[in-house]
Chain A
């Protein structure tokens, strides 16, 4: 397909996005509209937006590449996404969050926790963690989208990144959460249709059935590259050797980090506060699960099976055909799918990236303008959203700059890293706000500190995957990690940071004076 045709398709898509952003702008009349969509969002739009926000280019490009390299073990993440990210999140977290948010009239995740525990410090703490931590996640999502544009259009990565950022920035800053939700819903439909088509086309082009393709993938296990075999790889339809480095990366970082971390994602939690009754959340369970199994399930499945395609086309497996994991899926789409689908799939990647990014930028902007500096820009008009819009702009610039210091194959790990920090820091406090009345302000604050400090300490000094490239430990102690004994340096921080922060909120709460019940 010519670059001109591709360009026309993208321009039409951008016009559609611009129109939906404009629609959001027209329907935004107050700060509540800008932050929560007035609390009366359509359940289908909410569920599609939740799913689209959940599934970023990281899930498709990054984790799809992980599936191609490490195999179908990553499907555990798809299962956790459905079970934890939708069923448990909507039924056990969503209902109570919506109720609590309505009771406190909260507009952000930080405000929800701050108001519940009656602490402005907690609100600001949560906002600061979001505003400082989320740009890392946002930048890997940006990179995922830009890498794909670079591959499809054969243009410079810097230009791709700049264009991509400008488009998202425009509709988030102007349209607020309504603009974000409308565009998310359209993007979710594109993603759903693309993944479904990709799945069917793969079987068609390979002329294989579901079981037959799996059997063939099992039979090529001896072709696992030596460098991966040494890490514990046993084939693409088998889990890595238990306790091997690959097993620790797959299970503790990617599966548990993202699978549990999604429960305490601020940009997802606020979606529960956007609907006006629990029936919208009940409907969301069905829509969300169906969306995730088709989108995430399909890309992980086809990602692993792409080894069969590369073997047929080039005589080597995917990780040998492309060394950078993040570039496997873009290349696979370019070569295995019909020309016209390459353009449509690019829209799918753009959609996945934009929907997640827009929600992240909005959340960071809200953390800055509504939580950390609530009086910013409100001297003349108390209902002004200028502070949040300024926060969104700062978040975009920060994320854009981080993109330039990211290394190769970072997309999946960067996502897991942020989700892990969120889980360790926010989850105990958030869960106790919903379910444990005995939790106290002091307990919550101590748990937040323990969660974030333990996570950051582990990343800087214990977990080799982050500690080695960061270099702090090397600089201070002259070695990559403090405990250079396997498997300690391979265990993801979430495995001890989350239990520690959970223990902290329990112990400190029980040792401090109970809070007076608000209701």
Chain B
């Protein structure tokens, strides 16, 4: 894969791209999510 024969190396590239994908997803999904204000609004409702 990627012109590299050793799986010990090409897997790094694969995982790094996956990690980048996850960070983009996470960053966008939780861009405006604040844990504390979310928790306090939940407790207000209760």
Contacts and interface: CB of A to CB of B under 8 A. Distances in A.
Nearest to A73: B9
B5 interface: yes
B9 A237 contact: yes
A214 B27 contact: no
Given A277-B36, A278-B33, A287-B27, A82 B5 contact: no
Interface in A61-107: 71-73, 75-76, 78-79, 82-83, 86-87, 91, 95, 99
A277 B8 CA distance: 39
Contacts of A288: 23
Nearest to A212: B3
Contacts of A394: none
A293 interface: yes
Given A237-B9, A285-B23, A293 B4 contact: no
Contacts of A214: 2-4
Q: How large is the interface on A (under 10, 10 to 19, 20 to 34, 35 or more residues)?
A: 35 or more
Contacts, number: 98
A258 to B, nearest CB: 15
A282 B8 CA distance: 31
Contacts of A210: 2-3
Nearest to A102: B36
A218 interface: yes
Contact of B30 (A211, A213, A239, A279): A279
Interface residues of B, number: 27
Interface of A: 71-73, 75-76, 78-79, 82-83, 86-87, 91, 95, 99, 210-215, 218, 234, 237-239, 277-279, 282-283, 285-290, 293, 297
Contacts of B36: 99, 277-278
Contact of A75 (B12, B24, B32): B12
Contacts of B12: 72, 75-76, 78-79
Contacts of A99: 36
Given A278-B35, A286-B28, A293 B6 contact: no
Interface string B5-25: 110110011011001101110
- Max chain B Cβ within 10 angstroms of own Cβ: one of A99, A213, A278, A286: A286
A301 to B, nearest CB: 9
- Max chain A Cβ within 10 angstroms of own Cβ: one of B4, B12, B30: B12
